[in-house]
């Protein structure tokens, strides 16, 4: 079935998944990229911060204070200094310490493995109750680490969903979280691939400032493409690469 510019949003979302699944390498659920605690705290550090600066902040924090108990006990100003490569270290330092304090107080240890046994909604509510933990961060932890059927909507997923027309042009990220989840199968593998493929697509092709539409397999039904270039011609569709070429750069994990 060919999906066109005026197709319903749900059809565009499903076709996005099919085409990006062919374009980018498929992922499996085998190995979470990081431990649950690292996923949680790193995502707090990553707010409006590059991946390299987030990693640097994380490494400096653990080098300076040793472990989570050390991070919690550290003078807050020293923690802010250790994570100074992030966008708002003076806000994030007390936030991280409050998250650690609550985890220790409620669970007796700095670990989140209990979330594997909790229903998704309960885990989502528990994480969302932490300072600075929104839907995106909670979803990343629950999907990546515990394979719960949730969809993290970061800036890339949000932008592509708006441009293509999978959500309304003014829908918020939280609204996108709800709408896209309704449009996709509720299985963790599909949602992991959908999230990651759109994340890569936003990083590598559908740039914020100047999307590289010539290389994009979504141009045949993307509203942004239609508005800027008119309907994709057979020649433009035929010239679209079939898949990501490793020579174009590394895909971040
Ligand atoms: S056609 Fe262009 S604007 Fe649309 S998703 Fe692809 S790169 Fe983004």
Residue ranges of the chain that CATH labels 1.10.340.30: 36-146
56 lines ligand 1 (CB under 6 A): no
> What pLDDT score was predicted for residue 34?
87
State how far the alpha carbon of 204 is from the alpha carbons of 155, 198, 207, 218, in Å.
13, 10, 7, 14
Output the pTM of the full model: 0.91
Counting from 1 in the atom list of ligand 1, the atom nearest the Cα of 216 is: 6
Q: 36-146 falls under which CATH superfamily?
A: Hypothetical protein; domain 2 (1.10.340.30)
CA distance 78 to 251: 34
204 lines ligand 1 (CB under 6 A): no
Instruction: Give the residue-averaged pLDDT of 187-200.
Output: 96
Q: Is the pLDDT of residue 156 over 90?
A: yes
Residue ranges of the chain that CATH labels 1.10.1670.10: 9-28+152-248
Q: Is the pLDDT of residue 128 over 60?
A: yes
Instruction: Give the residue-averaged pLDDT of 119-146.
Output: 94
Q: Is the pLDDT of residue 223 over 90?
A: yes
> For 9-28+152-248, which CATH class?
mainly alpha
> What pLDDT score was predicted for residue 120?
94
Distance in Å, CA 22 to ligand 1 centroid = 16
159 lines ligand 1 (CB under 6 A): no
1 pLDDT tier (thresholds 50, 70, 90): low
> What pLDDT score was predicted for residue 29?
87
Cβ neighbourhood burial of 191 (10 Å; 0-12, 13-18, 19+): buried
224, 228, 248: residue to mutate for ligand 1 pocket, most atoms within 8 A of CB:
224
């Amino acid at each position: 079935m060919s999906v066109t510019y005026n197709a319903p949003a749900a059809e565009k979302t499903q076709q996005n998944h099919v085409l990006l699944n062919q374009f980018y390498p498929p992922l499996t659920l085998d190995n979470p990229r990081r431990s649950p605690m690292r996923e949680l705290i790193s995502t707090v550090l990553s707010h409006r911060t590059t991946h390299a600066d987030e990693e640097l902040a994380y490494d400096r924090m653990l080098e300076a204070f040793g472990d989570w108990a050390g991070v919690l006990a550290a003078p807050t100003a020293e923690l802010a200094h250790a994570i100074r490569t992030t966008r708002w270290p003076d806000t994030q330092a007390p936030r991280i310490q409050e998250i650690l304090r609550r985890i220790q107080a409620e669970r007796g240890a700095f670990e989140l493995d209990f979330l594997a046994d909790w229903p998704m909604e309960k885990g989502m509510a528990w994480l969302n109750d932490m300072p600075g933990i929104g839907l995106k961060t909670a979803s990343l932890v629950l999907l990546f680490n515990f394979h719960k059927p949730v969809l993290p909507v970061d800036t890339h997923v949000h932008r592509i969903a708006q441009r293509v027309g999978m959500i309304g042009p003014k829908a918020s990220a939280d609204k996108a979280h709800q709408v896209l989840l309704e449009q996709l199968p509720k299985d963790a593998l599909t949602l992991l691939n959908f999230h990651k493929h759109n994340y890569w697509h936003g990083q590598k092709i559908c740039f914020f400032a100047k999307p590289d539409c010539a290389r994009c397999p979504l141009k045949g039904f993307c509203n942004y493409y239609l508005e800027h270039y008119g309907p994709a011609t057979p020649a433009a569709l035929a010239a679209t690469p079939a898949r990501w070429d490793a020579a174009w750069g590394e895909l971040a994990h």
